[in-house]
Amino acid sequence: MNRVKNIFRVVHIVLWTLFSLLVALQLGGENDPKWFTTTLGFILTCLFVFYSHFFLLTHYSGKRKKRAYRARLTAIALMGPFLFSYFHYLKLHSWSAFFNNYFMALLSIVPIFLFLSWLARVTENLVLNTIIKEQLEKQAAEAELYYLKSQINPHFLFNTLHNIHTLVYKQAPTAPEAVLHLASLMRYMIYDSNASTVPLTKEMTYLQDYISLQQLRYKQSPVVDLKIGGETGICHIAPLLFIHLLENAYKHSPARLNPGDLKIRVEVAEEILTFSVQNPVNKHPTHHTLDEPGGIGLPNVRKRLTLLYPDQHTLEIHNTGETFTVVLKIHGLQLKPHER
């Protein structure tokens, strides 16, 4: 904001300097021996009228201050021509010339620079208000993004800790690995996800840690079939963008899953990132899943995509009755070859 105000100050100085030079050149070319006093009186009158009204508009722009504004505006209009007339009086030494110049300035110079000062104030207010509005919208968007990002299902953490406790109690050899996966997942959520964008490889590592911890619920072979292809090593995206989709896939699947029932595909090609997740539909739900925290998944993703990638994404949902598929495409991504 201060930077914008400094720019306006520089613009004022430059324009007034150029205007003064033009007036001096014009009057100096008329072979008037006292052109300097005439120029000085004219410029001082313009400055007085312009900036008196300019700052008056700042302090008396409310509806309740119209009477005070009009009284001070009248005073500015009547006092403005005195400087111009005074310097002319020094040159002509005639009271009649003084009043002639006074009324000439009152009817010509004063209205023009009152209007110009009003126009300058309106322009500055418009620019400053636009910037303030954009800053507020940005802060609101950042706050909403932070809120949306924090809506990871807390039940997952409790269930994972319970599963790890069971593994430790049974002295299972997979317990240390499960603790490492949980530590990696929490570190990413607390630290790495604070950045505006992260490498896609980090996001995929986060998802793989999540999948490894969810796999503790299943004794059979991995229930997730994950395939990653394309230029994922040079792609950067917003963090925690896919977790709700994956979370919902687990939540709305049957309690018993066969190996490879959850299919996840990630591909980057021609600056387009495609993420898809497919899960079998649970035809006999035992509770109302939409009332649980995980039920916010799709609305959460839609809001974040609207804020982060407006006009840069498509989100398609297909429900065949047997399978539920979500396909997310984000185009126009910035690829960074040096990160390869």
**Looking at the predicted structure, is the pLDDT value of residue 114 above 70?**
yes
Query: Could you tell me where the DSSP H helices lie in the chain?
Result: 2-28, 35-59, 66-79, 81-92, 95-107, 109-149, 154-169, 175-190, 200-214, 243-251, 297-308
d(CA 107, CA 128) in angstroms, rounded, equals 32
Whether pTM exceeds 0.85:
no
What rounded mean pLDDT belongs to the chain? 80
337 or 30, greater pLDDT: 30
Residue-level pLDDT at 292? 41
Closest by alpha carbon to 219, among 163, 281, 263? Answer: 163
Residue-level pLDDT at 280? 92
**Residues 76-101: what's their mean pLDDT?**
69
Assign domain 150-339 to its CATH superfamily. Answer: Histidine kinase-like ATPase, C-terminal domain (3.30.565.10)
Residue-level pLDDT at 326? 93
Residue-level pLDDT at 63? 56
**Residues 311-320: what's their mean pLDDT?**
91
Residue 250, exposed/middle/buried by CB under 10 A (0-12, 13-18, 19+)?
buried
CB 298 within 8 A of CB 317: yes
- 73: how many CB neighbours lie within 10 A of its CB? 16
Residue 222, exposed/middle/buried by CB under 10 A (0-12, 13-18, 19+)?
middle
Q: How confident is the model at residue 290 (pLDDT cuts 50, 70, 90)?
A: very low
d(CA 340, CA 335) in angstroms, rounded, equals 9
**Looking at the predicted structure, is the pLDDT value of residue 329 above 90?**
yes
262-269 and 224-230 strand pairing: parallel
d(CA 227, CA 274) in angstroms, rounded, equals 12
**Looking at the predicted structure, is the pLDDT value of residue 330 above 70?**
yes
224-230 and 313-319 strand pairing: unpaired
d(CA 188, CA 199) in angstroms, rounded, equals 12
Residue-level pLDDT at 302? 85
Query: Dihedral sign, CA of 185, 191, 197, 202?
Result: negative
Domain coordinates in residue numbering, the chain: 2-142, 150-339
| pLDDT more than 70, % of the chain | 81
Which of 49-53, 72-76, 304-308 ranks highest by mean pLDDT? 49-53
User: Could you report the per-residue pLDDT of 144-175, keeping only the tens digit for each?
Assistant: 656 655 655 565 677 678 778 887 877 778 78
Least confident of 84-93, 162-171, 182-191, 317-326: 84-93
Residue-level pLDDT at 293? 37
**Residues 202-221: what's their mean pLDDT?**
85
Which of 3-17, 166-180, 276-290 ranks highest by mean pLDDT? 3-17
Q: 222's torsion region: left (phi>0), alpha (psi -120 to 50) or beta?
A: beta
Three state DSSP letters for 220-258: CCCCEEEEEEECHHHEEECCCCCHHHHHHHHHCCCCCCC
Q: 332's torsion region: left (phi>0), alpha (psi -120 to 50) or beta?
A: left
Residue-level pLDDT at 204? 92
